[in-house]
Amino acid sequence: MRIVLGSISTQKLDALSIACDRMKMGSSTEIRGMDAPSGQNAQPVGFEETCAGAIARALQARMGHDGNVAIGIESGIFRHNGNGVIPVTVDLAVVVVITPDGRQIVTTSTGIQLPEACVEAAKKRGFTTTTVGMIMRERFGGNKADPHTTVTKGAISRKETLINAIMAALKQL
């Protein structure tokens, strides 16, 4: 099987490789990454924007690679105003798999709650260019692409949440 990932992110490629290993897909599985912009803001907000980014990446990965499984992954934030309670923002990824016959499979990763002060700071700077992970790195250190590790004090990485979401999608092939 050939899988083309619409990303050259080491984190996403590693997650895909580990997911395939855990599923015992074998050495016959060939993984390739390609640069595929999502067309979304630096910080996607909500399911529509995040899913649109994942679909865009998967469609680009599919172009010129007929007969392969194409995957797009996009992380975004999902906000709830709290309805009189404390507002909550959760970061999660949407994984879109397009099969060789054109079937689409969509899964999500486990969500991690982000500090609201960091969300508000990123929003103020503009989600077009600023992610919550960038703000968290400025304030707490760590990796801007992996706020999960910062929030959970190393217990859960973004890569681990991606592995599980990718496995959930690939198990539906």
User: Where in the chain are the domains?
Assistant: 2-170
- In whole angstroms, give the CA distance from residue 101 to residue 121: 43
Q: Which two tokens stand for residue 39?
A: 């067309």
Task: Indicate the CATH number of 2-170 among 3.90.950.10, 3.40.47.10, 1.10.150.20, 3.40.50.800.
Answer: 3.90.950.10
DSSP E strand boundaries for the chain? 2-5, 30-33, 69-80, 88-98, 104-108, 112-113
Per-residue pLDDT of the chain (173 residues; tens, 9 = 90+): 999 999 999 999 999 999 999 999 988 899 999 999 999 999 999 999 999 999 999 999 999 887 899 999 999 999 998 777 888 999 999 999 999 999 999 999 999 999 999 999 999 999 999 999 999 999 999 999 999 999 999 999 999 999 999 999 999 99
Per-residue pLDDT, 28: 84
Contact (Cβ atoms closer than 8 angstroms) between residue 36 and residue 56:
yes
Q: Which two tokens stand for residue 118?
A: 């960091």
Per-residue pLDDT, 66: 75
Q: Over the stretch 69-102, which tens digit does the pLDDT of each residue have?
A: 999 999 999 999 877 788 899 999 999 999 999 9
User: Three-class SS of residue 142?
Assistant: coil
Contacts of 54 (CB under 8 A, 6+ apart): 38, 72, 73, 74, 93, 94, 95, 96, 106
Based on C-alpha coordinates, what's the Rg of the chain? 16
Per-residue pLDDT, 64: 81
Exposure string over 99-112, b if 16+ CB within 10 A, otherwise e: eeeeeebbbbbebb
